[in-house]
Structure 1
């Protein structure tokens, strides 16, 4: 599964780079933001703003801490290490890439929430994809893994869509956040599986 996610991640990053590098495609990014802003309603605004809070770094770290505490009770130390390295690496990668690309966000007139840092990639999308991949990898042996995985993928999707809806990210930012996260988590899992037999520890 890690190889499939790695390939998917590379494709998403490739398409995001096309959107920001090819002049003929660049207007598509803003056109999507404008179109989505025209579909807003009070209910959708509330949902998207709630997702913005739940998908931010403080909420992510809070949830991850509770998750690690629960795993420590069952002495699942390999899982804890994977979560810690996965999420801390995701945070570091997202913000280093923001600094490296330093691309401007959509015009402030479209913003429904406060935003920090550069636009590319979307940190919320990066975190959501990392969390989804963690869940996918760690529930491979679970009897309800299909339903758990479906919820994880839906979380990834709605978080990314909400960032465009809120007007603080272009679609290219979201694709990059998803893609770069899939690449990072797949490589981390592949390394851990090779070095520490993670798959066996995840049973």
Structure 2
């Protein structure tokens, strides 16, 4: 009982609350799309982005640039180089966490896509492969940049970076709707799924690392 109380730190309690909130948003999005079959939010967001494209000539190029930073050709190398740099700097646990979060997130995203089996919008402005729900850019962007935000705040004394990184993730999500690569509900579900996975991954590794340390100290 005392061990359980010792594990209930403020960080873990906050993580559990965040996980429940993120899971609730993800569940709500599945209800909107697959139970209610509602397109109201998707149509509104798509029309809004189309209006920006009409009113701001030349916006598509910068949008394509931003969306690249949550694409697998960027995230896969970053998910290997980042942990390597962290390990060299002496942050072995954080390096392990980033690897598990990213590659587990990629696998989870693909499993969710196959389960929900939602086709992508037919009027995409760039070639897109695979299924639509939840958005991989949104989910993996939240996982990668959310993990970076935590590392910068927790270990490098840069909590102020959290807000710009989360704004950047939000911008990436908007690019997916702008480019008609995803519906808005795909993006919101991706954000929620990424947040829930990141929290679950972090709490799991935190508890595992604590237990491993205790076992090593007993030996």
Residue 195 (str. 1) matches residue 208 (str. 2): yes
Q: Which residue of 2 aligns with 1:36?
A: 49
Aligned-pair distance for 1:96? 1.1
Residue 124 (str. 1) matches residue 124 (str. 2): no
Aligned-pair distance for 1:158? 0.6
Change (3 A) 1:4 1:23: closer
Q: CA RMSD in A?
A: 2.0
Q: Which residue of 2 aligns with 1:64?
A: 79
Change (3 A) 1:152 1:3: farther
Aligned-pair distance for 1:101? 0.8
Count of paired positions = 196
5+ long unaligned stretches in structure 2: 1-13, 214-219
5+ long unaligned stretches in structure 1: none
TM-score of the two chains, using structure 1 as the length reference? 0.88
Residues in 1 aligned to 2:148 and 2:116: alpha-carbon distance in whole angstroms: 29
1:33-70 deviation digits (Å, cap 9, x = unpaired): 13312221343211211122221012012222221221
Q: Which residue of 2 aligns with 1:50?
A: 65
Query: What SS does the aligned partner of 1:148 have?
Result: helix
1:56-98 deviation digits (Å, cap 9, x = unpaired): 0120122222212211222211111101100001111111111
1:112-138 deviation digits (Å, cap 9, x = unpaired): 211111110000001110012212332
Q: Structure 2 residue aligned with 1:185, among 198, 205, 208?
A: 198
User: Is the radius of gyration larger for structure 1 or structure 2?
Assistant: 2
